[in-house]
Amino acid sequence: MTIQYKRLQKHFWLCLTGLAFFSLTPALAADKQLRIGTLAPKNSVYHRQLLEVGEVWRAAQGGNAKYLIYPDGSQGGEAELARRMRIGQLQGALISVVGLREIEPSIAALQNLPLLFKTWDEVDYVREKMRAAMEKKFLDKGFVVLAWGDSGWVRFFSKEAAFRPSDYKKMKFFAWGSESEQQEIMKNLGYTPVPLETSDILPSIQTGMITVVPSTPYFALASQIYSTANNMLEINWAPIVGALIVTRKAWDDMSPAAQLAVRTAGEKAGLEMRTKARQEVDDAVDAMKKRGLVVNKPNAEQLREWNELAEKLYPRLRGTMVPAETFDEVFAHLKTYRASKGK
């Protein structure tokens, strides 16, 4: 009796354990979460596109899938967002090259070469030529690229009027805290970088800790930078390029239907972000001008000085901020594109 009782008892617990497993499995599967971080402002075009991608994912994933967006840099700067993805606190992020290069340094070629790209068509051409190989590099590092976006041209917003490169040598520049190579290059050229996070920009320019901010017009308007730094140099220094990425683990956890749906939604979101962001550059400048922004346009001689500065920067950037192989590839693609346009 004792042996039979023990066998029955063992059988009971095995059945109970099995029932518990099968009853918990749907709950665990349904409790999927995608937590996405970004510096993009809440209710901006970028935030709205993230919401749309999230709704598509939730519908395709089913169950009680949860999609959470942390806008306005609430999860830290871009380097911090990359770190949080690596340790699993976030499953994805919409970030610019500043954060993307923490994962794959070669991406810097699309943003960190000043005055190289003259038009958005050039940016699009080079990105698409490099896209497949770039996405493979991110995949090898454990990340899946869902969308490519951009947010306008970097321009210089300063407290005082400035037209030529030498005018900025007496000013204190906001610099990304994670880009130590850029800071060294700036110092060597006679400029004063002040490493900060994005959330520190407005109070720092208000107190005088910094006096000039390289920023897109849209961000300058949304963050109110222009209200203190009310001089903008009208020069397209560099494009701000970014991407929506998720960790490979988060991707692999998605159902095949969810992966397909998110891929499609990501492509749509990327196109929408690029199109709207480019339109909003001029709109943002017009809105700021009505509120007191002064637009300073360099003349031909001053513009020549800026181009000479860029030419001086390229050898310093090659192999430091931009891997040499990728640097050369970008220049080769641009040469091909311009030749096809008779430039």
Q: Read off the pLDDT band of 27 (50, 70, 90).
A: very low
Mean pLDDT along residues 227-255: 96
Confidence of residue 26 (pLDDT cuts 50, 70, 90): very low
For the chain, percent of residues with pLDDT exceeding 90? 83
10 alpha carbon, distance to own chain's centre: 56
pLDDT of residue 343: 78
Residue 22 pLDDT: 31
The pTM of this model reads 0.86
Angle (nearest 5°) at CA 254 between 251 and 258: 110
Q: pLDDT tens for residues 266-301?
A: 999 999 999 998 888 889 999 999 999 999 999 999
Answer yes or no: are the C-beta atoms of 235 and 307 closer than 8 Å.
no
Residue 18 has pLDDT above 50, yes or no: no
Q: Residues 334, 122: contact at Cβ < 8 Å? A: yes
Mean per-residue pLDDT, 250-259: 95
Res. 95: pLDDT tops 80: yes
Q: What sign does the CA torsion over 182, 183, 188, 189 have?
A: positive
Question: What percentage of residues in the chain have a pLDDT greater than 70?
Answer: 91
Per-residue pLDDT at 216 exceeds 80: yes
**pLDDT at residue 8 above 50?**
no
DSSP string, 127-167: HHHHHHHHHHHHHHTTEEEEEEEEEEE-EEEESS---SGGG
Looking at residue 181, its pLDDT comes to: 86
Flag whether pLDDT at 160 surpasses 70: yes
Mean pLDDT of the chain: 90
Residue 14 in this model has a pLDDT that exceeds 90: no
- At 31 the pLDDT is 55
**Whole-number pLDDT of residue 6:** 38
Averaged pLDDT for residues 300-308: 98
Average of per-residue pLDDT across 30-52 = 90
Banded pLDDT at 150 (limits 50, 70, 90): very high
Query: What DSSP state is assigned to residue 209?
Result: S
Q: Which residue has the higher pLDDT, 55 or 181?
A: 55
Q: Output the pLDDT for position 64.
A: 86
Pairing of strands 155-158, 212-215: antiparallel
Whether 173 contacts 187, CB under 8 Å: no
CB 79 within 8 A of CB 178: yes
Separation CA 98–CA 239 (nearest Å): 12
Decide if pLDDT at 13 tops 90: no
Mean pLDDT of 135-152: 97
pLDDT of residue 116 exceeding 80 = yes
Task: Name all domains of the chain by residue range, CATH numbers in brackets.
Answer: 31-340 (3.40.190.170)
